[in-house]
Chain A
Amino acid sequence: MSSENKQILTTDGIPLEVSLKKAEKKNKIKAFLLVAPLLLFIIITYVFPIGDMLMRSVDDKMVTEMLPKTFKSMEKWDGDELPPEEVFEAFYFDFQKLIEEEREGKLSTQLNYTKNGFKSIIKKLRRKSKSFEEGNYKEQIMSVHKRWADVEYWRAIKRRAPAYTYQKYLKGVDMFENEKGKIVNVSEDRRIHRILWLRTLEIAFFVTVFCFLMAYPIAHLLATLPMKYSNLLMICVLLPFWTSLLVRTASWMILLQQQGIVNDFFVMIGLVTDDNRVEMMFNKTGSYVAMTQILLPFMVLPLYSVMKTISPSLMRAGKSLGGTPFVAFWKVYFPLTIPGIGAGCLLVFILAIGYYITPALVGGASGTLISNQIAFHMKSTLDWSFASAMGLMLLSGVLVIYWLYNKLVGIDNIKLG
């Protein structure tokens, strides 16, 4: 640069600063264009659909659109006593339109979610309403069934007026909004979801603890052994890691069955008698054992990669300064492995909390987890909005865990091994 001006110019005569900025911008755009295809793909096929789940979970437009006149006329009704004639009239016309479009069945299913007992009375109303005369619809509808004269049922209809609802989320924790608009628990014998949430957390937690307790010593051994032995032993960790999840589950089903090898072994060493074999499958034991073995590599690999970087001279220094091996381990070695512990526990816990293949196969009825429930509502009851709501509750739980992890350990420590 032989310029004598204050401003340094490039050969084209453009100030260097401007030229540099231009080049930087160009590089930025170049880098972004490389990422763009995948980013767009993931956003369209994955991020938006998760947003779609959110919409579905709160969406309640169906009934709102089915009974437009009814809800309009209900606006002035305070809900203390039976609604006035105009509400009945509006309801009658909405209902006739639904019959024409053959959608009254959907209405009855929807209203039945809000209050039991709608199914039969809507069927009856459909039959009777053919012979209705003009005028005085209130009397005519009320005479179809005594529930149509019950103010509770009209309040139930009114509760479906808003286009959005958080009912599905309440249902996910076994609560609902009662007639007076208060949020209360469902009756004791119908509280199934809370049990499932707790069981999911419990299994994920204990599987994480078991994995940690088993992975720590072997990761330490792998990291301290000479390369040629540790490579051989590493295969024991990596082969299960690369093997199909279902294959591993199948092998546990064979091992844990009543006539299986584990029971044979127990009988052989005299732990149990032959006619008294232990039931280890189709209960929690099965879930714990199989999930721990399946998720163990995910704990070993991050621990190993952290332990590998710890210099053995640190332990020697600890010992030479007068610490017993245990003190040296606890004060020097263990704190250095915390990033690995964090990454491993996070990985295992997150994987365990969303698991359902293994629990569904070896866990039996007491082994079903929240994921099974989501799959059940997706595939069997087709209550997709409820499945979405529970999925998002699970997702927000997972995000909270990530956030906590990031605060405590820092998210950059995740390694694939």
Chain B
Amino acid sequence: MALPKYTETHYRIWHYVYLSICAAVFFFLIAPLFVIFPLSFNAEEFLVFSDGMKRLDPDAFSLRWYQDMIYGTKNPWGLAAKNSFIIAIFATIGSVLLGTVAALGLSSRHMPYKGLIMAILISPMIVPLIISGVAIFFFMAKAGLAATHTGIVLAHIILGTPFVVITVTATLSGFDHSVTRAAASLGSNPVNTFMKITLPLILPGVISGGLFAFVTSFDEVVVVLFLAGLENTTIPIQMWTGLREQLSPTILAVATCLIILSTLILVTAELLRRRSERLRGINI
């Protein structure tokens, strides 16, 4: 953002002040994530940079916390990771199926009571999590699903569908309905039309909604704390327990892995968003 030559001095100064404020805020946003990386390779047990690390002494770095994370005795992380992935994958599938189908209905101009139904469908997203947690716990306890994988998956479907509904309805808002009519006029049945015409066009929205649902489930801790038994422990629960009791470098190793995972998800989501924007651009 170059300033024009005629800019007066005090505006020039203000402009640089503004840029430095922005730089500071960006630093505040992103820098905390980067403390975790080096410390997870710490050879010592303390969560501070040792003198050796400051001198970049190779002996001060080690992979022992990663070893501990994978092979450690009585280690909860393996089970937690397995559970987290299983739960998140099933919750994502459920959310995407229910959410996409509902979004198709909601985007139809024939849909009665659209506002009210939309409000109900996205309510799990706007009600504070602790309240959702209590309510869902009451339901699961009555249904006999507390402390089961099924219960947690269902709970995460509840929390994940609003994201799918929102992203898919947003994608459908730029959707040209004449293509489905064209397909129908050429003799295609509705299911075929959906699979061959609609789905490929709205796929970016569906996948990014799915990513939201996946992350929501994978990260979720409040509701799981109510629902999970010892067998259903997940990564967030283990992190929560670990952070409460004692902050060990093993947690930082796990955290590093999670940051790498979130970077991958971010890249995918961004690519999809751009693709979807491009497609929408063509439609308009």
Q: Are B126 and A254 within 8 A (Cβ)?
A: no
CB of A363, distance to nearest CB on chain B (Å): 12
A250 touches B251 (CB 8 A): yes
Report Cα–Cα, A207/B228, bound state, in Å. Answer: 31
A218 and B26 contacting across the interface, CB-CB below 8 Å: yes
B87 within 8 A of A: no
The residue from A49, A235, A394, A398 contacting B138, defined by CB atoms under 8 A apart: A49
Residues of A close to B132: CB separation below 8 A? 46
Contacts of A238 in B (CB 8 A): 266, 269-270
Residues of A within 8 A of B239 (CB): 244, 246-247, 250
Task: Judge whether A243 and B158 touch: CB under 8 Å.
Answer: no
CB distance from A282 to the nearest CB of B (A): 12
B116 to chain A, nearest CB (A): 10
Asked if residues A52 and B138 are in contact (CB atoms below 8 Å), the reply is yes
Which B16-67 residues have a C-beta within 8 angstroms of A? 18-19, 21-22, 25-26, 28-30, 32-33, 35-36, 39, 46-49
A350 to B99, CA, bound (A): 23
Q: Is the CB of A240 within 8 A of B30?
A: yes
B225 CB–A CB distance under 8 Å: yes
CB–CB B139/A239 < 8 A: no
In the complex, whether A338 has a CB less than 8 A from a CB of chain B is no
Q: How far is the CA of A116 from the CA of B247 in the complex (A)?
A: 41
B120 and A43 contact, CB distance less than 8 A: yes
**B130 proximal to A (CB < 8 A):** yes
For A234-264 the 0/1 string (1 means CB < 8 A from B) is 0111111011111111111111010111000
Contact B98 A217 (CB under 8 A): no
Contact assessment for B124 and A42 in the assembled complex, using a CB-CB cutoff below 8 Å: yes
Contact A240 B33, beta carbon cutoff 8 Å: yes
Closest partner residue, chain A, to B107 (CB atom): A31
For chain A, what secondary structure do more than half of its interface residues adopt (helix, strand, loop), or is it mixed? helix
- Say yes or no: A239 contacts B36, CB within 8 Å: no
B258 interface hit (Cβ, 8 Å): yes
Instruction: Give chain B interface residues in 90-132, CB to chain A under 8 Å.
Output: 98-99, 101-102, 104-106, 108, 110-112, 117, 120-121, 123-124, 126-132
Tell me, yes or no, whether B244 is within 8 Å of chain A by CB: yes
Q: Does B80 contact A (CB under 8 A)?
A: no
Chain A contacts for B120, CB-based, 8 A: 39, 42-43, 47
Query: Nearest CB to that of A251 among chain B residues?
Result: B32
A229 CA to B35 CA in the complex, in Å?
25
A208 contacts partner chain B, Cβ-Cβ < 8 Å: no
B188 contacts A by Cβ under 8 Å: no
Question: Would you give the shortest CB distance from A393 to chain B, in whole angstroms?
Answer: 10
Q: Is B146 an interface residue when CB atoms closer than 8 A count as contact?
A: no
Q: List B contacts of A53 (CB < 8 A).
A: 131, 134-135, 138
Q: Mark B261-284, 1 if CB is under 8 A from A, else 0.
A: 011011001100000000000000
Beta-carbon contact of B135 and A49 below 8 Å: yes
What are the residues of chain A within 8 A of B101 when measuring CB–CB? 34-35, 37-38
Chain B 208-250 interface 0/1 with A at a Cβ cutoff of 8 Å (1 = within): 0000100100110110011000000000100110011001000
The reply to whether B135 and A46 form a contact with Cβ atoms under 8 Å apart is yes
In the complex, whether B77 has a CB less than 8 A from a CB of chain A is no
Evaluate whether A254 and B99 lie within 8 angstroms (CB atoms) in the complex, with A42-B161, A243-B259 already known.
Answer: no
Indicate if A368 sits at the interface (CB-CB under 8 A): no
Contact between A221 and B222, CB atoms less than 8 A apart = no
CA distance A215 to B25 in the complex (A): 8
Q: Which of B125-180 contact A (CB under 8 A)?
A: 126-139, 142, 154-155, 157-158, 161, 163, 165-167, 170
Give 1 or 0 for each of A258-281: 1 = CB within 8 Å of chain B CB. 011100000000000000000000
B1 located at the interface, meaning its Cβ lies under 8 Å from any Cβ of chain A in the complex: yes
What residues of chain A lie closer than 8 Å to B28, measured between beta carbons? 214, 293, 296
Question: How far is it, in angstroms, between the C-alpha of A191 and the C-alpha of B263 when the chains are bound?
Answer: 46
Point out which of A46, A53, A236, A388 has the most chain B C-beta atoms below 10 A from its C-beta. Answer: A46
A34 and chain B: residue at smallest CB distance: B105
Which of A244, A257, A374 has the most C-beta atoms of chain B within 10 angstroms of its own C-beta? A244
Which residues of the other chain, B, contact A62 by a CB distance below 8 angstroms?
none
Residue from B18, B35, B212, B251 having most chain A Cβ neighbours under 10 A: B35
A residues near B (Cβ < 8 Å) are 24, 27-28, 30-39, 41-50, 52-53, 56, 214-215, 217-218, 221, 224-225, 233, 235-240, 242-255, 257, 259-261, 293, 296-297, 325, 350-351, 353-354, 356-357, 360-361, 371, 374-375, 378-379, 384, 387-388, 391-392, 394-395, 398, 402, 416
21 A-B pairs with CB atoms under 8 Å apart are A31-B105, A31-B106, A35-B121, A36-B105, A38-B121, A39-B102, A42-B124, A45-B139, A218-B26, A240-B30, A242-B263, A243-B259, A253-B243, A255-B32, A293-B29, A296-B28, A375-B130, A375-B133, A378-B133, A391-B131, A395-B127
